[in-house]
Structure 1
Amino acid sequence: MAPIPIVDSHIHLYTESEQSTLTWLSPEHPLTGSHSITEYNGNTGSPAHLEGFIFIEADRKNDDAKNWTYPLEEISFVRRIVTGSPKPEDGHAATDAKHLLAAVPWAPVNLGPKKLEEYLAKAEETAGPETWAKVKGFRYLIQDKPNGTALEEDFIAGLQVLGQRGFVFDLGVDQHRRGRIQLDQTVEMIDRAHEGVDEDKKVVFIINHLCKPDLTIVNQSDPSFVAWRTSMFTLSRCRRTYMKLSGCFEELPDWLKARPAEAIFEAILPWLAIVVAAFGPGRIMFGSNWPVCNVGVGEDAWKKWHRVVEMVCDLAGLSEDDQKMLWGGTAKKAYSIGA
């Protein structure tokens, strides 16, 4: 079988000059400095069948969504990629523009329709027509917000605005550190966001990183695993939800991160099998979460995760058509790439 085209559905990029604008990046963090397309190309080996990537916002400081300076700076950075006009410190060439297939910036979904529309207007102005055409959705991380944030009326109404405008919502929650409540509230949030909305206007949810389950668990009767498994099948019943096969390295114990891909696959097979069974290849997509995947794993992390996903395809006995969906087709469909 010829190499199947790959769309990496989840990578982050930022320059050293703007790293102080990231909420999570301390001077001691292993991801300090610039993380550029040039570096990404080096880590992936730039295989010819890697069509490109989807840029995901990197959680810029925003003063509880009241200050949009840094998120808009991030959109300006994306514009320099798309238009082939990099600054010297950006770390990419003008020819790299073709690799950015879609972008998912930050948006203040929590502020409700009026403020969200105001932000979208500023974002579109900052992006310009060519870059705005690449913006297929938005993200506002729930994983570090107070419980109940995603169930507030303004938040639900903001999600409905995105659906009406044809944008997807990238959903980031964290069961590992925040517990089952993040899963339960996710299910309720999706139900409420879709309630009473015409099918073609319902916002599409693209779930990041398997909802960050605790991959240190050994016993599958553990309440945490049972709650996660139940939520996966519940979430998958909504046809406008998709799941990224991404972010698993970050939830592994340190000793396992250093092991070969085969050992990692064996250790996390119960989670991978559930995702494939729940969502099917038509609603799961490959994503690396680069460069975060490198932490504790090393610069071969992208290749190692690629190998893990190859083994998922083999074990599941996916047909060539199903593999084409998992490696790139699902991402193109969910993000309306080429539409």
Structure 2
Amino acid sequence: MHPRRILDAHIHLWPASAANPSSHSWMTPGAHLAKQYSVSDYLSASASSDAVVEGFVYVETDRRVGSAGDGQSEHLEAWAEPLDELRWLRRIVEGTSEEGAGFTAEQGRLMKGIVAWAPLDRGPDVFEEYVAKAREVAGEKTWGRVKGFRFLLQGIKDEGALRKLVLGEGFVGAMRRFRGEGRDWSFDVGVDMRRAGVWQLELAAEMIVKVNRGMEKDGVRFILNHLCKPSLEDDVGDDNRDWYRWCAAITRFAGMHNVYMKLSGGFSEMEDQDPSHPMPVTEVVTKMRPWLNHLFAHFPTSRILFGSDWPVCNVRGPGDELSWNHWRAVVEQVLEEYGLSEREKDRIWYGTAVEAYKLDT
């Protein structure tokens, strides 16, 4: 039997120079993720005898963004870190490595797609200004790999503030610029049921409807990250209203033909694992089963795609060396348990990422 081909739809990378709070406000000195995570590190972690990673989608890492005024120079100062992220990605794609960078000249071909940050909160005109500068910084070869954008919503924990943002004309108008004039970009939706609330999912659904109103057939594609970060440790049932609201939101997303779901991020929503005694695959699947039952009953498998969320999966998963393959084993078990055909499995592991991100493979 040939090794399974995988196109990992969700990974993060950063150089040693960005492994600090100055580049990432969420990064704490001495924390697990506060070190370089390179392409070579990723390929080592994902090495397997029965699967081969044929490519990956790089997702922006929430670089620090300054407060911007209305002038171009102020914008460039505020965007310094995200633009520096693109400069670094350009070196990977173009193969201009240097000692200690953690990638070879040949490995850039594996970066099939890039989901970049963009200042969608500033409206369509500023978005266009950013796109022009980002394209200049990235260069044509790397810009050609930019297949979508992400502006994380999960950290906005005030419901009124998030509603005002994602349903506002500026945010919606910026996303409507993703289509037309040769553009076909997607939007990665990062919401968090467990830490913020299920209302984030409900607002995301309203946002999608508003963005695509009047252009449903040719609308923007939305890719939901990490099952929307459900509370996998919670009991589900009659007393858990949030569980029913999550189910209702997933059912609503399932009815939107241009919405995809990443089967990713599960380790981050359950208890820490000991690298010397990882949680058995069957136990992980059992914890996820109520949520997966609803997902596979209502969401078309043709719009589900695999993502590892590496290296974030290492933090609560069984460490840097084991987490990627442990999550892959979990997904293998899930797809087997829900009776998917080999063709359906191949779409989740590979084909759906190509479709959702319009990748050149």
One-letter amino acid matched to 1:272: L
Determine the C-alpha separation between the residues in 1 that align with 2:263 and 2:237.
20
Determine the C-alpha separation between the residues in 2 that align with 1:37 and 1:220.
42
One-letter amino acid matched to 1:56: V
Matches within 5 A, 1:185-224: 185-197=203-215, 199-200=217-218, 202-221=219-238, 222-224=240-242
Deviation string 1:192-216 (CA, Å, 9 cap, x unpaired) is 001122522x111011011111111
1:136 aligns with 2:162: no
Provide the residue aligned with 1:23 in structure 2: 25
Any conservation in 2 of the 1:282–1:330 contact (CA below 8 Å)? Answer: yes
SS at match of 1:176: coil
Deviation string 1:286-308 (CA, Å, 9 cap, x unpaired) is 00000000003212111111011
Deviation string 1:107-141 (CA, Å, 9 cap, x unpaired) is 01111110000100111111111111111001100
What's the offset of the Cα at 1:322? 0.6
RMSD: 1.7
What's the offset of the Cα at 1:244? 0.3
Provide the residue aligned with 1:38 in structure 2: 40
Identity rate, percent: 38
Determine the C-alpha separation between the residues in 2 that align with 1:96 and 1:277.
38
Provide the residue aligned with 2:301 in structure 1: 281
Any conservation in 2 of the 1:276–1:284 contact (CA below 8 Å)? Answer: no
One-letter amino acid matched to 1:303: N
Determine the C-alpha separation between the residues in 1 that align with 2:216 and 2:282.
45
Provide the residue aligned with 1:49 in structure 2: 52
Higher helix content, 1 or 2: 1
Deviation string 1:128-176 (CA, Å, 9 cap, x unpaired) is 1111111100110011124222122111111111133311001100111
Any conservation in 2 of the 1:163–1:204 contact (CA below 8 Å)? Answer: no
How many matched pairs?
Answer: 338
Provide the residue aligned with 2:71 in structure 1: none
5+ residue gaps, structure 1: none
Determine the C-alpha separation between the residues in 1 that align with 2:215 and 2:91.
36
Determine the C-alpha separation between the residues in 2 that align with 1:332 and 1:151.
29
Any conservation in 1 of the 2:48–2:325 contact (CA below 8 Å)? Answer: no
Determine the C-alpha separation between the residues in 2 that align with 1:26 and 1:142.
21
One-letter amino acid matched to 1:107: A
5+ residue gaps, structure 2: 69-74
Aligned match of 2:324 in 302, 312, 331?
302
Moved beyond 4 Å, runs of 4+? none
SS at match of 1:185: helix
